Amino acid sequence: MADTLTGPSAGTRAKGAAGSVPLAASGGPVRRATRHTGHQGRLRRAGIYLGLLAASGFAILPLLWGLSTSFKPESTVLATPVRWIPEHFTLENYEAVLFHSQIPLNLLNSVIVSVVTVVVTLIIAVPAAYSAARYRFRGKAGLLFFILMTSMVPGIAVLVPLYYLAVQLDIYDTYLVMIIIYSAWQVPTIVWILRGFFESIPVEIEEAGRVDGMSAAGAFLRLVLPLAKPGLGAAAIITFVYVWNDYLIASTFVSDPDLRLISVGLYTYLTQYGTVWGQLTAAVMVTLLPMIIAFVVFERRLVSGLSAGASKG
């Protein structure tokens, strides 16, 4: 009886096991699923690459057109059909921009205001971000949210009060008024970026320094700040680019032509008689050069700093 019961059961198990071996060995459904998944992955990557290529072309083509136009004589700028490669190269536009205009002075003004603003912003934002990352105190979350909220206020909403204060304090038409406003607008954003970066630095490093006899300030200056260089670099570039590209503050609080920033100086080529395209594009190319150099030099620090701030902030 026992043999009768166990025979078919064992045979069925053996048959099932034997039948499943070729299926697993052949890998028919598994192989088809793998091929299908691999095909979807390739399509997804192709779509990502096409999207990146389209976005890059959308951003680069206007710059290439501007570069091409800057080497064309003014008489051929609007000629049809459009030629991407100038038929007659000329450096007259660059000569006019660099030696017969105020663009070099505007560039110098922008460099001064941008660099000083970066320094002031970091001096204020670094201690605030470090305190927000390391210390616990009542109302911390609300205070940080309020700081972030101030950066969301549109600039045009506070333009009139700021203008009135600048006139009353007798700092209108000076570097100082632009530096103060730019720094005040950038501190909230930089505090949040650096807070995330400081949180990514292990607190044990500071504790080890304290054990070795360092003060809290000494551990911060000697141990934390050197490790925070990528974050500081990212914050510096963000602030520098913001000041370099801003037009609203630069055009509202400065009327002296000798104090104009480059963003305002470019508009001198937009006249009531038309646009001087050759000199305008040459001035734009000259203006872009410092930005390109900054991104090439600080690319790694910018990426690592923003990544740390995004993951922790």
- Higher-pLDDT residue of 158 and 302 is 158
- Domain identity same for 62 and 16: yes
Q: What percentage of the chain carries pLDDT values higher than 90?
A: 29
Mean pLDDT of 265-276: 78
Mean pLDDT of 73-95: 83
DSSP H helices in 84-168: 92-99, 103-134, 140-150, 159-168
- Domain identity same for 175 and 277: yes
- Domain identity same for 106 and 252: yes
- Domain identity same for 140 and 284: yes
Mean pLDDT of 63-76: 87
d(C-alpha 174, C-alpha 167), whole Å:
11
Question: Can you give the pLDDT at residue 137?
Answer: 82
pLDDT at 130 over 60: yes
Q: By residue range, what is the domain housing residue 17?
A: 2-70
- Domain identity same for 55 and 187: no
- 132-168 per-position pLDDT tens digit: 888 888 888 888 888 888 878 888 888 899 999 999 9
Q: How many CA atoms lie within 13 A of 146 on its CB side?
A: 5
Which of 70, 101, 128 corresponds to the end of one domain? 70
On whether residue 260 sits in a domain, the answer given is yes
Most confident region among 135-139, 211-215, 263-267 by mean pLDDT: 263-267
Bridge-partner residues for 274, per DSSP?
271
On whether residue 81 sits in a domain, the answer given is no
* Cβ-based neighbours of 96, under 8 Å, separated by 6 or more: 279, 282
Bridge-partner residues for 270, per DSSP?
275
Q: Which of 196, 227, 181, 218 is nearest to 129 (CA)?
A: 196
- Higher-pLDDT residue of 41 and 240 is 240
pLDDT at 47 over 60: yes
Query: Residue 275: what are its φ and ψ, rounded to 5°?
Result: -100, 130
**187: phi > 0 → left, psi -120 to 50 → alpha, else beta; which?**
alpha
Q: Which of 58-72, 125-139, 164-178, 261-275 has the lowest mean pLDDT?
A: 261-275
On whether residue 31 sits in a domain, the answer given is yes
d(C-alpha 3, C-alpha 201), whole Å:
71
First vs last Cα of the chain: how many Å apart?
73
- Domain identity same for 190 and 295: yes
pLDDT at 129 over 70: yes
pLDDT at 305 over 60: no
On whether residue 76 sits in a domain, the answer given is no
pLDDT classification of 210: cutoffs 50, 70, 90: confident
- Domain identity same for 65 and 97: no
- 173-202 burial, b at 16+ Cβ within 10 Å, e below that, comes to bbbebbbbbbbbbbbbbbbbbbbbbbbbbe
On whether residue 34 sits in a domain, the answer given is yes
- Domain identity same for 57 and 145: no
Which of 70, 104, 129 corresponds to the end of one domain? 70
Distances in Å between the Cα of 111 and the Cα atoms of 120, 235, 261, 297 are 14, 16, 9, 17
pLDDT at 112 over 50: yes
The CATH number of the domain holding residue 221 is 1.10.3720.10
On whether residue 168 sits in a domain, the answer given is yes
Cβ-contact 114, 186 below 8 angstroms: no
Q: Which of 301, 129, 295 is nearest to 229 (CA)?
A: 301
- 197-207 per-position pLDDT tens digit: 888 888 888 88
pLDDT at 301 over 80: no
Which of 20, 38, 70 corresponds to the end of one domain? 70
d(C-alpha 185, C-alpha 248), whole Å:
13
- Domain identity same for 52 and 11: yes
Q: Which of 27-36, 224-233, 242-251, 289-298 has the lowest mean pLDDT?
A: 27-36
- Domain identity same for 98 and 55: no
Query: Residue 271: what are its φ and ψ, rounded to 5°?
Result: -105, 170
pLDDT classification of 31: cutoffs 50, 70, 90: low
pLDDT at 115 over 90: yes
* Residue that the structure tokens 């260089």 belong to: 229
On whether residue 175 sits in a domain, the answer given is yes
- Domain identity same for 307 and 212: yes
Average pLDDT score, the chain: 82
- Domain identity same for 37 and 110: no
Cβ-contact 122, 186 below 8 angstroms: no
Per DSSP, the residues of 224-237 read: IHHHTHHHHHHHHH
Mean pLDDT of 120-130: 94
Domain count, the chain: 2
pLDDT classification of 193: cutoffs 50, 70, 90: confident
**Does residue 87 sit in helix, strand or coil?**
coil
On whether residue 85 sits in a domain, the answer given is no
